[in-house]
Amino acid sequence: MTAKIINGIEVSAAIRADLRERVTAMADRGVVPGLAVIKVGVDPASAVYVRNKVRACGEVGIQSSQYDFEANVSQQTVLDLIGDLNERPNIHGILVQLPLPPHFAIADILQTISVDKDVDGFHLYNVGGLVAGGTVFPPCTPYGVVKILEHEGIEIEGKNVVVVGASNIVGKPMALMLMQRDATVCICHAKTRDLAQFTILADILVVAVGKPNLILPEMVKTGAVVIDVGINRLPDGKLVGDTDFEGLRHKVSHITPVPGGVGPMTVTMLLANTVASAERRLQTQSERLLTSVAS
Ligand code: GUN
């Protein structure tokens, strides 16, 4: 079997084209979606991610504003900025790039972002929404994985899904989103013994750990769908995921490459959440206007 290599750039482009149209439709009603991006410190990976996010906003017509702080900035300064951004009507999404320096209490930062502007989906309300099945903003990376599966026509209902990695940003929300779509979900993590006994059962295997070559061909079922969320830089500078891509592509039915698989989708779903936030606000305003006219 030779796998279909899923092109995340292509899937992203289709979604971004739709977003551009929605942004244009809002512009006709005088609204430009706005995203505020906050970065603290000089983590090189964060700098690249933030640059990509800001550039992508420009591509679909979202107005982005970037706030960069030195690593030694006080938490209160950042909380004050978030409080201010929460009140601004031209801001529809607020994102604080993680990780933050050690003197920050990340939970305090994330819980201060208004639920209606939490386009990363990290606020406890949105996390709770994932559990109860009514989230406001799905977190971007797992949301991107679901969109890839939908785009490829891969059925989720009733499938055995194994998620390797139990982070708050990817693994846990991924598992909840797929469970919501009636998959049978198993989560593996750093303490899982004999990983292969679980991964071999997967119809859909999602791997988000950060270890090159963690998943080898003998650990997957023939014909499985493999979604590789890992991004690892090898000593020779090459970017790879968490799976043995060359080995797996002759055994599975679908696989995402690294780079060019899930990565572009994460940024695209951030744009999608920001556009959805602006549309929701417009909808709420229109409904309020109608109610006040009727009364
Ligand atoms: N750091 C790594 N991934 C993410 C993400 O999706 N959002 C934010 N805010 N920070 C991150």
Q: Give me the amino acid identity at 70.
A: E
Q: What are phi and psi of 211, to 5 degrees?
A: -135, 115
Ligand 1 atom at minimum distance from 266 CA: 6
Kindly name the residue from 116, 117, 118, 120 that is annotated as catalytic. 120
Average pLDDT over residues 167-184: 97
Is residue 294 scored above 80 in pLDDT? no
pTM of the model: 0.95
Q: What is the mean pLDDT of residues 201-226?
A: 98
Decide: 78 in ligand 1 pocket, CB within 6 A.
no
The answer to whether 39 and 81 are in contact (CB under 8 A) is no
Ligand 1 contact via 140 beta carbon (within 6 Å): yes
Q: Is the CB of 169 under 6 A from ligand 1?
A: yes
Q: Is the pLDDT of residue 18 over 80?
A: yes
Structure tokens at 128: 């709770």
Strand partners, 96: 38
53 is catalytic: yes
149 lines ligand 1 (CB under 6 A): no
118 is a catalytic site residue? no
pLDDT digits (tens, 9 = 90+) for 158-171: 999 999 999 999 99
Nearest CA to ligand 1 atom 9: 97
Catalogue all structural domains in the chain, each as residue range(s) with its CATH number.
31-121 (3.40.50.10860), 140-262 (3.40.50.720)
Q: How confident is the model at residue 135 (pLDDT cuts 50, 70, 90)?
A: confident
Ligand 1: which residue has its CA nearest to atom 4? 98
Q: Give the CA radius of gyration of the chain.
A: 20
**Is the CB of 118 inside a 6 Å radius of any atom of ligand 1?**
no
Tell me, yes or no, if 28 is annotated catalytic: no
Of 46-55, 127-136, 217-226, 260-269, minimum mean pLDDT range: 127-136
Phi–psi pair at 34, nearest 5 degrees: -125, 130
In this predicted structure, the answer to whether residue 152 has a pLDDT above a threshold of 90 is yes
Tell whether the model's pLDDT for residue 292 goes beyond 90.
Answer: no
Catalytic one of 39, 53, 147, 172: 53
Distance 98 CA to ligand 1 centre (A): 5
C-alpha of 43 from chain center: 20
Given its phi and psi angles, is residue 180 left (phi above 0), alpha (psi -120 to 50 degrees) or beta? alpha
pLDDT tens for 25-69 read 999 999 999 999 999 999 999 999 999 999 999 999 999 999 999
Asked whether 35 lines ligand 1 (CB < 6 A), one says: no
